Amino acid sequence: MRASDYVASFLVAQGVRCVFEVIGGMITHLVDSCHRQNGLKVVSVHHEQAAAFAADGFGRITGIPGVALATSGPGAINLLTGVGSSYFDSSPAVFITGQVNRNEQKGDRAIRQLGFQEADIVTMAQPITKAAWKVEKPEELPQLLEAAFKLAISGRPGPVLLDIPMDVQRAEIQTFGPEKKVSTDCGTPIDPVAITELLNALNSASRPLILAGGGVRSAQAVDLFREFVGAVNIPVVTSLLGLDVLPYNHPLRAGFIGSYGNRWANLAVGSSDLLLVLGSRLDIRQTGSDTEAFKKDRLIFHVDCEAGEMNNRIRGCTAIRSHLYPFLVEAICLSKQRHFPAKHTWAAEIDKLRIQWPDILENKDRPGINPNRLMHELSEASTRAAAFVTDVGQHQMWAAQSLDLQGNQRFLTSGGMGAMGFGLPAAVGTAMANPGTPVVVIAGDGGFQLNIQELQTVVRNNIPLKIVVINNQCHGMVRQFQQSYFDERYHSTYWGYSAPSFARLAHAYGIESLTVESQASIASALDLMWADPSRPFLLEVMVDTLTNVYPKIAFGHPFTEMEPFAKPIAMEGT
């Protein structure tokens, strides 16, 4: 069997339904084999970075590694931002790069390059992958491919890169029967004594909270998580990547925490006496820089599959090292053997904070469209969407603060990498994972211009993306930073920066579009956007340039002290 045909059949056996690529000489064999493979769609995009983000999106949604292919040299190097995004946000992915023929490789020679477009992608990818391997001999291919898929989904998921020289791709290899789906490895079972101690502490705490992170999703444990939360009856705050572990209207959902978290959620953490952290690495964007204030005298139990993530920034936590899936199975089993009465006073305290600090009033002094209100209206109109995928910037934070996610709607964003340009291509991958189901993209005018070319992929494949570009005519998040720390010198964010009319641009691509400039016209614009759920649509929403994301943890302050230092609504006018 030809090696490239083997790769294509192996991908289908793993449940991979599409691969994302930009063509190039060193990848033609693989693309040709994928094209001829039943059950596999080749999605041709227009930048390898977009192919990588699309694979990342596919992997996050399905739990099956997303696959992107790229040619040697510039193609492979263009993948890297997306490879890093999968690595930092733990999404399973396998990146396959074509390499020049083995007899054209420079090897140990003291030269820069031998073959045309030869580049050492394996070394470049090493720090941002779980593993990066070059296939040196055709007969190694089956074993390396299997190892790549297993590693991508085992433990904390992430990307693996396989570099396959062109002559290896076209070689004949021996195979042994139909390919099998590789299985994941959840590690050693968890000690029930540690869980019993945790459950005892949860029961005796008077103001306990669960902090859920992206690890709950990457462990494929959302259903278990919801069952556990129901069993222990404890309110849940989430990190940015954990935003969709509970629907917005879940009675135990207590909001999104962090640098731009809901004010009530940060205050609730500040008042808690016990925090159970599940699959979250407590990074600076969640806790603020004042780690002492975050820990205080609170009991913190931290469950994670990576030892290095626990007692890292926040010290004094009780670390339980476990993959979340077996942890939750055991924790549900033990928690069902006892009664966890609802903590009514604590729940009422959190509710009071929520009512005191409505998200839509944080920005009440700015003219024009209120972005938090917009997010509520957008999500109310978008119940048919399978997912909301954001780019990076202020709009990302407004979305995290104020989208009302329903049922199993997903929220995807570039967390650790924080890569502008993620939204549109990641939404392409998300939509390919749910063919026919619409997906909402939320982007800013700056980041949208980084992968705007993928509008052509949307049109070519008739992908039902509902694209909302929040156009504040600036790189808003950095402009807000310059406002605070650079005396309003807005170079490169507003001065010297510009954006086109996105509605007219969408029209040029053949996508229906509309621009809205007032709060009053949003409802009818959303109706139009959803008039045909099966078609792409671009809605450009004009927002005042000086609109900030509030609340925001004030630099150097504890995470409970957020800008603007406003008074609660109840004290307004006093």
Ligand X SMILES: Cc1ncc(C[n+]2csc(CCOP(=O)(O)OP(=O)(O)O)c2C)c(N)n1
Applying the rule CB under 6 A, the residues between 49 and 88 that interact with ligand X are: none
Q: Are 258 and 268 in contact (CB under 8 A)?
A: no
Residue with tokens 């690595």: 87
Among residues 52 and 166, whose Cβ is nearest to ligand X? 52
- CB contact set of 90 (below 8 Å; sequence gap of 6+): 156, 157, 158, 214, 215, 218
Rule CB under 6 A: say whether 446 interacts with ligand X. yes
CB of 561 to ligand X, least distance (A): 23
56 membership: H or E segment, kind and range: helix 48-62
Rule CB under 6 A: say whether 266 interacts with ligand X. no
Instruction: Give the tokens for residue 375.
Output: 């997010």
Q: For 155, which DSSP code?
A: S
Alpha carbons within 13 A on the beta-carbon side of 57: 35
Rule CB under 6 A: say whether 96 interacts with ligand X. no
- Give the binding range for ligand X (CB under 6 A) out of 190-198, 388-396, 458-466, 563-571: 388-396
Among residues 73 and 447, whose Cβ is nearest to ligand X? 447
Rule CB under 6 A: say whether 470 interacts with ligand X. yes
Rule CB under 6 A: say whether 423 interacts with ligand X. no
Interface mask (CB under 6 A) for ligand X, residues 391-410, using x and -? xxxxx---------------
**How many residues belong to the site for ligand X (CB under 6 A)?**
20
Among residues 270 and 368, whose Cβ is nearest to ligand X? 368
Select the residue whose beta carbon is closest to ligand X and give its number: 444
Sole binder of ligand X in the list 475, 522, 536, 562 (CB under 6 A): 475
Among 144, 107, 106, 122, which residue's Cα sits nearest to residue 3?
144
Interatomic CA distance for residues 216 and 277, integer angstroms: 10
CB of 506 to ligand X, least distance (A): 16
CB of 172 to ligand X, least distance (A): 42
Instruction: Give the tokens for residue 509.
Output: 């691509």
Sole binder of ligand X in the list 25, 418, 533, 568 (CB under 6 A): 418
Among residues 353 and 469, whose Cβ is nearest to ligand X? 469
Rule CB under 6 A: say whether 363 interacts with ligand X. no
Mutual orientation of helices 48-62 and 80-88 as an angle, nearest 10°?
A: 20
Among residues 234 and 553, whose Cβ is nearest to ligand X? 553
Q: Decide the pairing of beta strands 562-563 and 552-553.
A: antiparallel
Q: In 357-377, which positions are buried (b, 16+ CB within 10 angstroms) versus exposed (e)? A: bbbebbbeebebbbbbbbbbb
Mutual orientation of helices 371-381 and 394-402 as an angle, nearest 10°?
A: 60
Distances (CA, A) of 51 to 21, 94, 106, 283, 515: 6, 12, 28, 28, 29
Interatomic CA distance for residues 324 and 301, integer angstroms: 13
Among residues 244 and 445, whose Cβ is nearest to ligand X? 445
Rule CB under 6 A: say whether 419 interacts with ligand X. yes
Sole binder of ligand X in the list 164, 202, 420, 538 (CB under 6 A): 420
Rule CB under 6 A: say whether 302 interacts with ligand X. no
Among residues 20 and 260, whose Cβ is nearest to ligand X? 260
CB of 427 to ligand X, least distance (A): 15
Rule CB under 6 A: say whether 258 interacts with ligand X. no
Among residues 224 and 477, whose Cβ is nearest to ligand X? 477
Residues in contact with ligand X by the rule CB under 6 A: 391-395, 418-421, 444-447, 470, 472, 474-478
